[in-house]
Chains A and B, each alone.
Chain A
Amino acid sequence: EVQLQESGPGLVKPSQSLSLTCSVTGYSITSNYWGWIRKFPGNKMEWMGYINYSGGTIYNPSLKSRISISRDTSKNQFFLQLNSVTTEDTATYYCARYGGNFWYFDFWGPGTMVTVSS
């Protein structure tokens, strides 16, 4: 079965960069599309962007100047980098796989909580 697992620092200082890894098992990231989503305290969910099977990316315009998604196919991992973070970037970050042809997330990682604080 497809499994995803996020990893990275749980605490980041303001103005620094947030870097997370999503490790995928049971499926190759050279197929399908793979996304990052975050959930803020209070329930709001934000779609951040995705990387596709060939390495192409699409980002949420609200983050476009700060976000980068990349991958390492040899390790079957993809990555999120978010620059110049503020306390408003405190959230639980999820990676997920887009299933099928209609852009729904069918497999999710358990999520990793990231706090931005000095």
Chain B
Amino acid sequence: DIVLTQSPALAVSLGQRATLSCRASQSVSISTYNLMHWYQQKPGQQPKLLIYRASNLASGIPARFSGSGSGTDFTLTINPVQADDIATYYCQQSRESPHTFGAGTNLELK
């Protein structure tokens, strides 16, 4: 299985930039397609798709969210962080089955 490694937690101040990382144990890219996706989950709610294929903003997601990366290293950036962004963020790969998730990064207020 492809293992995705995320930092457990990240503390940020409101209005600042948050950079969340996800590292894969092997490449999750095929040709020009980077098969890494990001989700946001708040307590008591289902996950919400933020970014698909590494850098594409999902429908209805604010432009302060962005994604980048290729191969094994990927980044989700939130700039500027707002209070509503406090949540857990998961990366997921779909390069090969099983489509594994990272352990999640808890975004916290500093």
Contact = CB atoms under 8 A, between A and B. Distances in A.
A74 B40 CA distance: 33
A108 B47 contact: yes
B74 interface: no
Given A44-B103, A45-B104, A102-B94, A110 B53 contact: no
Contacts, number: 60
Interface residues of A, number: 24
Contact of A108 (B48, B88, B92, B98): B48
Interface in A37-72: 37, 43-47, 49, 58, 60-62
Main secondary structure of the interface of B (DSSP, over half): loop
Main secondary structure of the interface of A (DSSP, over half): strand
Contact of A47 (B49, B101, B103): B101
B90 interface: yes
Interface of A: 35, 37, 43-47, 49, 58, 60-62, 94, 99-100, 102-106, 108-111
